[in-house]
Every structure is written in C-alpha cells, then in structure tokens.
Structure 1
Amino acid sequence: MLKDLDSGEILFSRGAEKRFAPASMAKVMTAYVVLDLIKKGELTRDKQFTVSEATWKKWRGSNGGSTMFLRPGEKVSVDDLLKGLITVSGNDAAAALAVGIDGSEEAFVKRMNAVAVKIGMASSNFGTPNGWPDGGVTKVSAADLITLADRLIRDHPGGYTRYFSLPRLQHGISPEGKPIIQANRNPILGRVLGADGLKTGHTSEAGYCLLGSAKRDGRRLIMVVAGLPSDKARRDEAERLMTWGFAISMATNESGKGKKITSGGARAAP
C-alpha cells in the first residue's frame, strides 16, 4: 500500500486488508505507545530502566534475534532504548521498555492493543512488543500499518525526527573491548531521496517487510511492502514503489485530480 500523507490519497493498494505477521514492524506500535506516554507527561526520555536477568536471558542475541546488546543489571534511558528499538530493531530494547513501563511484556501488550483500537487499527492484534513469532497471535494489515505510520508522524513529529532516521547506533562493548556500532537496517535510508523512516521486519513467516516513508518537495509518502523473498527484493521493490509514487503524486497534484490507483487501475505500479 502507498499513501500520500498530505492529500490523503491512496496511490496504490494490493491486498492491503489481508492480515499477516508484521515481524519487527510491530516495534513501530511499541514506539508509538512510548512516545504517547512521553507526550502525556507520564514518562520522560531520561527515565532509566534496569535490564532484568530474565529479559536479558530471553532476548540476548544468541537466541532472541536482533539486539542492541543490553546487559543484565544495566540501567538504560528510555531515550536510548527507543534508539535501539528503531535503529537496530532491538528485541531486547522492546522488552526492556515493556517491562519498565508496565511490569511485564504481557501487560504492555494489552496497552498496545488498546492504543491500536483507539487510533483505528481495526484489523490488528499484538501478542508481543517486538513482533517475535508468537504462533499467529500478532497480525496486522498493510492498511493498519499505514494508519499507524500516519498517526505517529502527525502525533509525534519530534519523536519521528529524533528516532527514525538515525544512521547507526553505538551501544555495548564487544568481547574484544571495542564499542559495538550497528547500522540502521532501513534499506531506503540514503538510497531514496527524502527517506527518513520507518521500520523493517523479517522472519521466515513474514518474509522481508518494510514500513517506509519519505518526504520530497513538501510531500510525504508512506508505504508498506511485505512478504518479499530477500533483503534485495525488499529494497528494490520499496525503491521502485517510492519513485513511482512521487511521480504519480506530483502529476496528481499538478492536475488537481486525486484518484485511488489499484493493481487493476489504469496506471500500474512498477
């Protein structure tokens, strides 16, 4: 799905209502919840949470997928956890935020689902704060992810700018005593003009996915691609769709006529 955020037009849609596993794109929901708490004054960026032994054991890199390399007993600020959550897709960061805010991942997930309903994500359900495979509990639709990205960018523009386009994260020390530096996993950053978010996802169930956004010449587009077979396929598809979208968006703006373009429409996406 591809949306022009400024006009509200859906430029392209194919299977956008189909529910699927979002993998780490679920972390955008976690980020939205945390940013909302900060906005309401119920949480501060400099609030520190202590990483529990249980969280570390469950989500360390050897068995918990992507990580920002948190250590048991480490005190980490909400600010740094958000950076780890988005920039390097830290499963440990998502869990540390969830436990720090609500005492458990399960309690935080209830908060996620309540907020999802509130902002209009009618087809989605979350079972984890990080999108780790959970037997089919966590499901979203492309349309709902577009809604989420739209609301995050509109409701938390400062947070969006602060966290979603960092080129890299430095956190933790390697066994050799060197700082651990990880690059942002978003494949359109630095490749698509104006790209500044949002989040990748990948599991064997979900395939390679991306919830992406870019702003060019005062216009912002948001897109979802999911189920791609490889990292390269995801990157190429996202780049093609965004390039096409800005061309269509510009033409629509110049003509003053907005139309919803679908896979069966007069004009086809690349």
Structure 2
Amino acid sequence: MPEPAPEGSALPLLALTGLEVGYGQVAAVRGIDLTVHEGEIVALIGGNGAGKTTTLSAIAGLLKPRAGSIALRGEAIAGEPPERLVGRGMSLVQEGRQVVPQLTVQENLCIGAYLRRGDTDVDLERIYGIFPRLKERHGQPAGSLSGGEQQMLAIGRALMARPSLLLLDEPSMGLAPLVIERIFEVIRQINEEDVTIVLVEQQAVQALRIAHRAYVLENGSIRLSGPAAEIRENPAVIDAYLGGRRQGR
C-alpha cells in the first residue's frame, strides 16, 4: 500500500469546488469538493449511479457543470473542450475502451499523439515496453484484440499524449481476474513514472490497494474521503463495497 501523499499548502494539481452536474432535470453530482495533488493516485468509488463517471466526464470537458468550479494548476477549466485539456496535459480513458476497431494497434496508439508534432517512435517504444502484448500485435486490427488487450491499448493511446494527469474510468470492467491484476500493476507503474491518476473503479478492493487517497460517492455526493488505507478499514465501506468483510492487505 502506498503512503498517502501529503496535501500541505501546495496548490493542488486538480481542484473541484462545489461541482454540480446534471442531465436534464436530474442532478447527478451535487456540490462536491475534491482535490488531487501531484503524484497521487486518487480513487473514486461507489455504486452504480453514484456520480463517479459524471464527475470524470466533467473534469475531462465532456460535460459542462451547472455550478461550481474545476481548476487545473489553479486555472479554471470548466467547460473547456476536451482537445484543449489534452493540450494542458490531461488524458481520459473512457469506460468501454473506445478503440477504433478497423485501425491497427499502432495506428490507434498514434491517434493519442495527434496534438503533437514530430517523431512518435520514442513514445511507441515506451508503450510497447509497458505493454509487450501490444508490440506483438502492433499490425493487427484493434477489433481483433481481446478485451484486456483493448484496455491496454486504450491506456497506451492516452499515454501517447504524455499526460501529467490521467483519468481512468472503470479500467477493470468486463475483464478476467488475472487481467485485472495486470491492469492495476500497470496503473501503479504509470504513477511511479510521475503521472498523477484519478481512478474511477467499482473494484473497490483493488482501487484502494493502489490509491493514496479515496473519495466514496453516493447519490452524487461525497460520503467519505481520506487516505485509502483508512477508507479500506471503515466499517461502512466494508459493508457496502468490500463484500461485508475485511480484505487481505
């Protein structure tokens, strides 16, 4: 378990204040406050409909907040288009992977570098180093990959933009247990390479093992927040999200 990153007085990399987001008349996120500091993995956990993906979509510019603010390095970004946020160092891996099935693995990866000019060979080799399976399949159509391989490709494509902040939405969804373990190992590795991560995940046990801090969302509001190790030991979290029993460390 990583040590919680100190919050201190340093300006957060990402700060949400009073964020409200909705769909029509439905309020999906209800005035939440959230901070992410450089070098952290921050997990957002909660049940279906808790507001996790909506929060991530608002951060990434896919949804416009009704109220509140989103700041990246102290600068307001709420409502900015996603491509501008990519240019600011933010990348999103959406739920469902969203690879382009008819393009090759390598072509999909290169899409991630579309805002950059120049040679991408160094970046490709870095991604292939993290995901050797992608190198083996670099010339295959992405649609021919397994679900786990497509998730690796989606993460690799996001990393091609050289983000300082990576947003991951349910990276374990639909994957076999062994593949899930590998994905979480990679998330930890990416973080150790100085990429800050916000992780939305229903696999609460796995998420809380690798995260520094966590927020528990319920009905669009933050129910609990704090160091991930403490959240793991909270009786309410154990009952609701960890199978009603304490998990192995």
TM range (shorter): under 0.3
TM superposition score normalised by structure 1: 0.26
Structure showing greater relative contact order (alpha-carbon pairs closer than 8 Å, 6 or more residues apart): 2
